[in-house]
Structure 1
Amino acid sequence: GGNGQCVEVAFLDAGLVAVRDSKNQGGPVLIFTPGEWDAFLGGAKDGEFERP
């Protein structure tokens, strides 16, 4: 979006999903199982992570 907050998502073998800061390619990577990723996406769609 041009605001400097960049997230990169990669779909790996066995359905795993990797997420990292695209500006820090050598930094940490979060790995999610398919169920965890689906739960995250569902929560995002439902507004679970919106600030009060």
Structure 2
Amino acid sequence: MLYWALIFLIVALVAGVFGFGGIASASAGIAQILFFIFIVLFVVALIARAVRGRAP
């Protein structure tokens, strides 16, 4: 998921450089949403691992 967030961020930067404001803002918004979803899933995975303990 972090991979897709980075892809949309790169698309937003390239579109911004070439002057496509609508595409740039949409791609930046998608990248931001995917990044926050990734962060939430990462924190949930950390908590789940801490609760279950280490695997043998």
The two structures share one fold, judged by TM-score above 0.5: no
Mark the structure with the bigger radius of gyration.
2
- When normalised by structure 1's length, the TM-score is 0.31
Relative to its length, the structure with more helix (as a share) is 2
TM-score (norm 2): 0.29
Q: Which has the higher contact order (CA 8 A, sep 6+)?
A: 2
